[in-house]
Amino acid sequence: MRGTVRRTLAAVAAAALTATGLVAAGAGAASAQPRAATTVATHHSTSGHSTTQHPSRAMTGYTQVVVAPPVYQLVAGAGITPAPIGGAKAFAYKDTLAARFPITGYALSGLSIKHSGGISLTAGAATISLSDFSIDLARGKVSGVVNGSIGSVGRVDLFTIAGTNRLDLGLVRLKLTDTAAGALDSTFGVDAFSAGDTFGYATPRPFSRF
């Protein structure tokens, strides 16, 4: 199983690095064009030559997260309503729920994939939002920003990355950290989530259209 996780992380890292190279190459090609579609600023270097700064290109692609069916049944049975926030998308998927979070960039140091958007879980006055996910391939962790009726928690590790046991749902499995499980239990006044529980399955798709 550990070898499977390593191979999966290596494949995801390779995709991220390749995407980074393509974006950099695209930016270089754009700078070679004699006329740009957008306005650019011209500066003078200390050597007396002018240099032109081109606007950075937006990243493309998304990461799809499928909620583990037992978790979805638990959430639905407890009257907790999930909803996408901040530009994310959510839809029914194989008797559970899937969400897509736009990829906003890659960091070569630490091999991380950054996202915008998130998901909220609400039951009456109790609510919690998880957003701005960052997949840290070097540590095998997924962090996110937590807010809600328990207060503004900030960025914390939400999931550990493990080998999938449902390839039809995702390339890797997301297991709750103690911090994430505690935040969910505290928000909804339950004792239903534990560290190590499978929350869902993730598949980064850096070359797909969001």
pLDDT of 131 strictly over 90: yes
- How many helices (H) and strands (E) in the chain? 3, 13
pLDDT of 27 strictly over 80: no
In this structure, the number of other CB atoms found within 10 A of the CB of residue 83 comes to: 14
Q: What is the pLDDT of residue 74?
A: 95
**Burial of 183 per CB tally in 10 Å (0-12, 13-18, 19+):** buried
Q: Are 100 and 64 in contact (CB under 8 A)?
A: yes
Q: What is the pLDDT of residue 15?
A: 55
**SS3 assignment, position 178:** helix
Q: What is the pLDDT of residue 24?
A: 40
Q: What is the pLDDT of residue 106?
A: 83
Sign of CA pseudo-dihedral 133, 1, 93, 188? negative
Q: What is the pLDDT of residue 46?
A: 41
Full-model pTM: 0.75
